[in-house]
């Protein structure tokens, strides 16, 4: 039996990497190597991206994109955020009517203690959800999955679907009317970096509830056909949850 090493992982085919990603737990050697070795992780993600951006086979596209999404989530700890979302969805809020206080409460419910050990680590987890590599993987999945379902198992699509949904919620947080600057001084940067800093402050400073913060009132994940189809294929029917 071959030993799992950075070199052995980096040399694998997209299909083998997708199988390993789907079958390995977060504490496995596979994910530990990718977490500890950014160069190997980059090689693996590039191999998977080549498949989900060029393959004519929907099953191969979905397996590779779901693997890439899971690798990003697990290696940054962002899977803990996704698990937090699953808990929130047991009694889903009305995202479209959220004010600053309820957005702050949602953030505090979503972020587990293990992600509050390091602001840099938390920012990396946010980037894994809403950064360009995650966007590309989710876009490939949404384009490949149709209303009739996915070509691979719902259990594999499920984690990617939950990640895509959480990314859509984070993207819908509207900072444009934010009336409070960073309590540490200065304004929040635009994009993922500013959002990560804002959510960190909300999660770690209980008295800080920035006014003018809300969810885009036009936010409706069920209106995005690609996202909605992916969610249904992954076993997450938002309509049944009251959206």
pLDDT in tens, the chain (243 residues): 457 899 999 999 999 999 999 999 999 999 999 999 999 999 999 999 999 999 999 999 999 999 999 999 999 999 988 888 877 777 777 776 777 778 777 787 788 888 888 999 999 999 999 988 899 999 999 999 987 789 999 999 999 999 999 999 888 888 877 766 556 666 788 788 888 988 888 888 877 777 777 888 888 888 889 999 999 999 888 887 767
In a domain? residue 113: yes
Q: Which residues contact 41 (CB under 8 A, 6 or more apart)?
A: 34, 35, 71, 75
- The C-alpha angle 81, 84, 86, rounded to 5 degrees, equals 120
Q: Is 68 part of a structural domain of the chain?
A: yes
Number of structural domains (the chain) is 1
**Sign of the C-alpha dihedral computed for residues 174, 176, 181 and 186 taken in this order:** positive
Closest C-alpha among 45, 37, 81 to residue 66:
45
- What are the residues facing 174 on neighbouring strands? 214
Expressed in angstroms, the distance from the first to the final Cα of the chain is 49
pLDDT computed for residue 1 by the predictor: 43
Domain assignment of residue 81, yes or no: yes
Does the residue 238 lie in any domain? no
Predicted confidence (pLDDT) per residue in 146-185, tens digit:
877 899 999 999 999 999 999 998 888 888 777 665 566 6
Residue 88: CB partners within 8 Å, gap ≥ 6? 106, 109, 110
Nearest residue to 40 via CA among 10, 72, 13, 11:
10
Distance CA 48, CA 214 (A): 36
Kindly state whether residue 163 falls inside one of the protein's structural domains.
yes
Look at residue 149 and tell me if it is in a domain.
yes
Cβ distance 178 to 210 under 8 Å?
A: yes
Strands 214-215 and 173-174: antiparallel
R_g of the chain computed on alpha carbons: 18
Domain assignment of residue 1, yes or no: no
Domain range for 109 is 6-233
* Distance (Å, whole) CA 154 – CA 150: 7
Task: Classify residue 242: in a domain, yes or no.
Answer: no
Query: Would you list the DSSP string of 53-111?
Result: HH-S-HHHHHHHHHHHHHHHHHHHTHHHHHHHHHHHTTS---GGG--HHHHHHHHHHHS
| 147 exposure class (CB count in 10 Å sphere: 0-12, 13-18, 19+) | exposed
3-class secondary structure, 18? helix
């Amino acid at each position: 039996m071959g030993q799992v090493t950075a070199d052995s992982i980096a040399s694998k085919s997209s299909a083998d990497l997708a199988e390993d990603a789907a079958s390995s737990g977060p504490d496995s050697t596979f994910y530990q190597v990718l977490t500890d070795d950014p160069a190997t992780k980059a090689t693996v993600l590039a191999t998977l991206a080549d498949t989900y951006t060029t393959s004519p086979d929907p099953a191969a596209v979905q397996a590779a994109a779901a693997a890439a999404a899971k690798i990003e989530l697990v290696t940054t700890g962002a899977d803990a955020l996704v698990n937090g979302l699953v808990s929130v969805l047991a009694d889903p809020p009305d995202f479209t009517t959220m004010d600053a206080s309820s957005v702050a409460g949602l953030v505090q419910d979503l972020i587990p203690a293990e992600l509050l050990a390091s602001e840099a680590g938390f920012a990396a987890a946010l980037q894994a959800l809403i950064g360009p590599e995650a966007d590309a993987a989710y876009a490939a999945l949404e384009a490949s999955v149709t209303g009739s379902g996915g070509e691979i198992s719902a259990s594999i699509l499920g984690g990617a679907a939950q990640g895509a949904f959480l990314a859509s919620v984070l993207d819908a947080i509207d900072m444009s009317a934010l009336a409070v600057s960073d309590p540490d001084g200065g304004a929040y940067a635009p994009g993922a970096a500013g959002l990560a800093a804002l959510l960190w402050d909300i999660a770690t400073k209980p008295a800080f509830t920035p006014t003018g913060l809300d969810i885009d009132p036009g936010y409706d994940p069920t209106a995005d056909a690609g996202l909605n189809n992916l969610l249904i294929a992954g076993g997450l029917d938002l309509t049944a949850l009251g959206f």
